[in-house]
Amino acid sequence: AQSVSQHNHHVILSEAASLELGCNYSYGGTVNLFWYVQYPGQHLQLLLKYFSGDPLVKGIKGFEAEFIKSKFSFNLRKPSVQWSDTAEYFCAVTNTGTASKLTFGTGTRLQVTL
């Protein structure tokens, strides 16, 4: 069975600081990788996704993630965070087989202070 680990449970940063959130997955086959974000009081929404090709993926709002197959990792990065990035971030994986059910990590709560 596949699993996803997010080691940072709660991260506090000042505005303009750089962000890197860790995500490691466990699965023996080919995977698709996602980062979802949940802003306070809002739905889960897709931030970015990786299926194939360039392992550096760019998403919305200046976020990017790098897929490192040898490390089973898909870390999320942003060079300079804003107060509005305060949210919960979830890494998720599906296999490339049939039904695309998502396996999520436990999430990282990001708090950006002014």
Nearest distance from residue 94's CB to another protein, in Å? 4
Decide: is 32 part of the binding site for another protein (CB under 8 A). yes
If one counts every other C-beta atom within 10 angstroms of the C-beta of residue 13, the result is 17
Q: Is 80 in the site for another protein (CB under 8 A)?
A: no
Q: Does 98 bind another protein (CB under 8 A)?
A: yes
* Residue 99 is a binding residue for another protein (CB under 8 A): yes
| SS (HEC) of 39-61 | CCCCCEEEEEEECCCCCEEECHH
What residues pair up with 95 in beta bridges, in sequence order? 31
Query: Does position 107 bind another protein by CB under 8 A?
Result: yes
Query: Cα separation of 113 and 83, whole Å?
Result: 6
- Nearest-CA neighbor of 17 among 73, 79, 98? 79
Residue type, 108: T
> Pick from 44, 62, 64, 66: which binds another protein (CB under 8 A)?
44
72 lies in the site for another protein, by CB under 8 A: no
Nearer to another protein among residue 19 and residue 31 (C-beta): 31
* Binding residues for another protein (CB under 8 A): 4, 6, 32, 36, 42-46, 49, 51, 90, 92, 94-96, 98-107
